Chain A
């Protein structure tokens, strides 16, 4: 009994249940994607799923197209979001936290409802649905996810650095280019992760915005994984997606820092 109390009062063991949970519900499922991807319907090892992906023009072209759409969407989000984050974090222009809140609030509105609202906006104004609507809709849906991380890193920039640069004679342009821009890059990187990756794997949004005309990679994955005879092919497509996630997140990884200073609300 005493031993038990000792184990429990050693508080580092308190993370054990969660560690087990993470193993079972995060690590194992990801491993299973890899396992199923290299299996045929009877459970034997095969690479046929990947051969099918490269050889089948529909899936492969959709994949390339989705990456292109995701790049353009991410670019638009940075273009619109970076200045907004800069203005929001600058005391000279904005002191209100509520303003910041208004920008991240759409993150809490169901993405399907927001997308359908965009569709209705196009209907009312008579703009046809299609590629343009898709890009607009995706930018609209993901813009808050770009603004928020950039704003967060900008707020953390040590104001003394900016003053020091000014004292040393840098004009506003130079202060921005030499201090603010480089120091806000981690925010841009996490913004890219929060926009680029979900865009490639989007499925419902693209279907709604283009009346099922344009399908992104996510739709192809979804269709295959849900059917038992193409499940392994779907797993192979998911593995391709996972590789992209790995490559993108290798670009910027400061997990430890995020952990101790994060906080969402």
Chain B
């Protein structure tokens, strides 16, 4: 009985969380301009999406979002992974200091990160555009990479590294052959996380994109919504993004569960 109530509560909450997303998904299969007005089944919005039947500004926004996310998350992954190895080998005092700084972008709401970087670029007199958005994204992604790589380093057996050195490996060889393979899963999940965070970002991009007409998907949606309606093609697009993320996360999750089981047996 108790179990039934507990399960029921979870499912009720899930239903609540997913109803709006489902509505978007359902209405991606009809051509109507306004949500809630079913005008018959149609795949037209999907074909529009892939045959270039939508406005060029939306296409550009999608391209910008992907390019920015790829560049920013790659940079963040490199910067964060190297930093994590460094932080791990630091003495406890400087380690605490840098962990504190690393946490600031995590705690700050997006708007503060966005505004503070906006002021930095104004102060430096840099014209804002692609570069500033990418730098801003690296700023809020890197802490997550550090946090993903760190537990891997902590749980690593330090003797393996020592053994490699004793057997004549140079520190660099030991790094390449021992440490990197060990922390690789952390690096990968740090990259995936950075990528999704960057794609998702709205506030930071809004403040750092300048006024050269650069739009990401989020800022495009924002200006679109302010004008009163959502471009219909955004419905199939968000459905596709949602399903992709869902599948990706389930696959990652299944894989790590299998690995955990293997490690146990």
State which of A90, A92, A262 has its C-beta within 8 Å of the C-beta of B147.
A262
Report the separation of the CA atoms of residues A210 and B88 in the bound assembly, to the nearest whole angstrom. Answer: 47
Total contacts A to B, CB within 8 angstroms?
Answer: 267
State which of A9, A114, A121, A238 has its C-beta within 8 Å of the C-beta of B112.
A238
Q: Is the interface of B mostly helix, strand, loop or mixed?
A: helix
Report the separation of the CA atoms of residues A74 and B10 in the bound assembly, to the nearest whole angstrom. Answer: 19
Asked whether, in the complex, the Cβ of A9 is within 8 Å of the Cβ of B79, the reply is no
A92-125 interface bits toward B, Cβ cutoff 8 Å, 1 = contact, 0 = none: 1110011101110110111111101110110110
- Number of interface residues, chain A, beta carbon within 8 A: 89
Residue of B nearest to A29 (CB): B116
Asked whether, in the complex, the Cβ of A87 is within 8 Å of the Cβ of B120, the reply is no
Interface status of A245 (Cβ within 8 A of chain B): yes
Residue of B nearest to A264 (CB): B193
State which of B99, B186, B225, B252 has its C-beta within 8 Å of the C-beta of A116.
B225
Asked whether, in the complex, the Cβ of B109 is within 8 Å of the Cβ of A245, the reply is yes
Report the separation of the CA atoms of residues A15 and B21 in the bound assembly, to the nearest whole angstrom. Answer: 41
Asked whether, in the complex, the Cβ of A109 is within 8 Å of the Cβ of B242, the reply is yes
Asked whether, in the complex, the Cβ of B82 is within 8 Å of the Cβ of A14, the reply is yes
Residues of B within 8 A of A103 (CB): 13-14, 17
Report the separation of the CA atoms of residues A237 and B244 in the bound assembly, to the nearest whole angstrom. Answer: 39
Interface status of B110 (Cβ within 8 A of chain A): yes
Report the separation of the CA atoms of residues A207 and B223 in the bound assembly, to the nearest whole angstrom. Answer: 12
State which residues 70-89 of A face B: CB under 8 Å: 80, 83-84, 87-88
Asked whether, in the complex, the Cβ of A235 is within 8 Å of the Cβ of B225, the reply is no
State which residues 58-88 of B face A: CB under 8 Å: 79-80, 82-83, 85-88
Q: Which 4 A-B pairs have the closest CB atoms?
A: A15-B86, A14-B86, A117-B20, A29-B116
A selection of 22 A-B contacts at a CB cut-off of 8 Å is A11-B88, A13-B86, A14-B85, A18-B86, A18-B87, A22-B102, A25-B139, A33-B115, A33-B116, A98-B253, A106-B21, A108-B196, A108-B200, A112-B218, A112-B221, A113-B221, A120-B20, A124-B23, A204-B202, A241-B111, A258-B147, A260-B151
